[in-house]
Amino acid sequence: MRRAALVPLVAVALVLAACGPAAPPAMPLAFVGADEQVYTYDVAGGPARRVSSTSLLPPPYAASVTYQWPTWSPDGQQLAYLQFARNAGGQSGSAVIVSRADGSHAHEVFENEPGGTLVTPFYLSWAPDGSQIALGAQRGSSAAVLLLDPTGGRDPQFVTTGSPVFYAWAPNSRSLLVHPFGSARANPRAEVALFHVERTWDERFVLPVRPVGFHTPAWSPDGAHAAVATEQPGQGARLLVFDTASGLATPLLEVTRAPSFTWSPDGSRLALMQRENDTKPFAPALDVVSAADGSRVRVADGNISAFFWSPDGHRIAFARFHDQGGPGTTWWIVDADGHNPVRLGSYLPDDDSFVLLLFFDQYAQSMSPWSPDGKYFTFSGSPVGEPSGPSHVYVAPTDGSSPPYALAEGHMPAWPAPPPRLARG
């Protein structure tokens, strides 16, 4: 492959990425129940346990309250989740709550009361060392990124806005790669920038790339590389991999103008699907690409809408949308070399599952549908053929030994994101 030497400051800026966290212990599944409360459940047995509204009561103005998007801390000891409350007059407020996994010691780390400036949280992503939480929130017509202190001891730090905006934590938790405004073809403000959490957005380093319509930049697990998709005038789109020590950029392979990509847990490969453009929700195929030379293996075909690496990096789960025989989605698991496909089960995704499928490359950095030991997979929705039925949380053995079983009525199931398997200090 041809290596292109870019601005030396790229090396100075990107080398801030380094060590990854230790692997979390085995832990229960978190989900939101039919009553819109957060629960945890141990797949080894035992009843579901409520986490929300146990040690921290809803705000005094609340006539109704719901919770969304439980997100595990990297060490599995805490959960962050969104709280939405409505007063008797119909005005809404929101908050971000952090508690221990059993619901104890709950406290607010962000609050937006009714009648104030409307900032609506929608996404949470813990720093790999657990020191901060990057919050995605809707503010007017744009999305905003804020940094929260999980202890609640510091005020939220505003980072930037964009429409849309996606971001990824560096493995050493010191920096974020931020991709605001989508494709440079659609918006000249589009960029990919390195933001250091101890500096201001005006001090960010803008990478010398012209982004195409991909979503989330991707750090390799050891922080040695960062992947983005870019194009230059008169050239096609390419997947570009930066070496964070030298600043050299390697064009890995040509891609469409709307690719999605994530690194394998060992950093040796990337999984890649390529949509025709950023209005298409599906891709015709899923490939695994060597990070060393760009060679690729086709592992699945046909209306691929999302994929997630297994924690050990040996397998990939992917969602295939039904194009015939009625609506629905089927989850499959396949070896990373394309062998041994296992059909897990079909379902009708609920609204939150559609969000997860559409933006899976962002959510892959904050949660996982795989259990930490790789033995189970989770999703939520209704049985195919029952579009008006309630949404259930399903758990399926990943070896295909038995069909998915309905754990409970609910949605938004999540285990922690797989931790990096390598570290570079």
Q: What's the total number of domains in the chain? A: 1
Would the pLDDT of 382 be above 60? yes
Alpha-carbon separation of residue 342 from 41, 148, 250, 335, 366 (angstroms): 25, 40, 35, 9, 25
Return the CATH number at 83.
2.140.10.30
In a domain, 340, yes or no: no
In a domain, 410, yes or no: no
For the segment 180-224, what is each residue's pLDDT rounded down to a tens digit? 999 999 999 999 999 999 999 999 999 999 999 999 999 999 999
CA–CA dist 387, 371 (Å, integer): 27
In a domain, 217, yes or no: no
In a domain, 36, yes or no: yes
The conformation of residue 211, written as its DSSP 8-state character, comes to B
Mean pLDDT taken over the chain: 90
Q: What percent of the chain is modeled with pLDDT above 90? A: 79
Mean pLDDT of the 363-372 span:
96
CA–CA dist 377, 22 (Å, integer): 22
111: exposed, middle or buried (Cβ count in 10 Å: 0-12, 13-18, 19+): middle
The whole domain housing 112 covers: 24-170
**Alpha helices per DSSP H over 127-169:** none
CA–CA dist 126, 150 (Å, integer): 9
Confidence of residue 117 (pLDDT cuts 50, 70, 90): low
In a domain, 31, yes or no: yes
In a domain, 18, yes or no: no
Which residue did the predictor score with more confidence, 194 or 19?
194
In a domain, 146, yes or no: yes
In a domain, 154, yes or no: yes
Helix (H/G/I), strand (E/B), else coil: 11: helix
For the segment 282-341, what is each residue's pLDDT rounded down to a tens digit? 899 999 999 999 999 999 999 999 999 999 999 999 999 986 656 799 999 999 999 999
